[in-house]
Amino acid sequence: MDHLTPQQRHKNMAAIHNKNTKPEMIVRRGLWKRGFRYRLNHKRLPGHPDLVFRKYRTCIFINGCFWHGHLVDSKTMESSVCCKIPTTNHDFWVAKIRRNKERDKEEQRKLAEMGWHCITVWECELKPKQREQTLDSIAFTVNHIWLQDHGAKSISLPQLEEKDMKMPMAAEADD
Ligand SMILES: [Zn+2]
């Protein structure tokens, strides 16, 4: 790396950075294409979600499988297919990944308390073969959340009306 000029190094770093944000771009483009509009990195929300759908009161986190310990049991902290915990400095990595997992959980708990729904998308779910299916399922989930939040109210209305209907009927009988 030392033979690189500052410009070359900068370009290199930028390329690495872009590569790191690629999963986020896949989700952004995929959901935009499916008609969803969102805000990016809502800084005031716990955990700074990658995407925020205000209309749906839903946050999306796009998690790297290694850093967030995908499929790693919090108790045993054994490596999974998605997250191979290095054998060198093993304890350090276990502690680090465990902390990340705990933080993720805590942030989502806070968001839930504030009335937000959270969707976690894992990097492995965005591999070319699974990508479209994953994006469809996010779109489905977001729509489902909206229906649950808004549909429940319209279901309870006819029940109220039915109860209210009894009063005028009773009044009618008295006549
Ligand atoms: Zn994974």
pLDDT tens profile 142-175: 988 888 888 755 545 555 555 554 444 443 343 3
Average pLDDT over the chain, rounded to an integer: 81
> How far is ligand 1, taken at its centre, from the CA of residue 128, in Å?
14
Do residues 42 and 49 touch, judged by C-beta distance below 8 A?
yes
Strands 117-122, 58-63: pairing kind: parallel
Query: What's this model's pTM, rounded to 2 decimal places?
Result: 0.71
Q: What distance in angstroms lies between residue 127's CA and the mean position of ligand 1's atoms?
A: 10
CA of 131 relative to ligand 1 center, distance in Å: 13
Distance from the alpha carbon of residue 164 to the mean position of ligand 1, in angstroms: 53
